[in-house]
Structure 1
């Protein structure tokens, strides 16, 4: 193994903000499928297909809007395209596309 490969492997692996959004989506999905209150801090308020998703972030105690422009997500709260809200919105959009509004 080369020295460079060893150095790369020794670095700790950390989650990205998008991963945090994906984990939040999995918690949200589990709570909706089991019809029970899980420890999810996100409440989906509105979805306009291919335009925007609005949800309440309990950790921030604020509504968050993620807009999709030319299929690219953008969080208006964080003013970023790689935050946890965007990760959650991407997963929710994929879920909505696959299962429709009955799944949400």
Structure 2
């Protein structure tokens, strides 16, 4: 592989990892690799700053976690609704 292909692959990988680094879900190794690259690449640093600002505005600075219990409750409600819609009423 040529040097330019290696550089392009590295940029692509960093750009794909930026959202995960910003939202805190990247692994330690991924974060480290991105941080090293950002020290050397102004274009990727600019993109990192843009995505960081966007993330902060979307979340008001808070990282939101999914409410698994509420999601499960809604799932069971949908199953119950589907069951009621497909099961005929018993004759009286």
Q: TM-score, normalized by length of structure 1?
A: 0.31
Q: TM-score, normalized by length of structure 2?
A: 0.33
Q: Which has the higher helix share?
A: 2
Rg larger in 1 or in 2? 2
Q: Which has the higher strand share?
A: 1
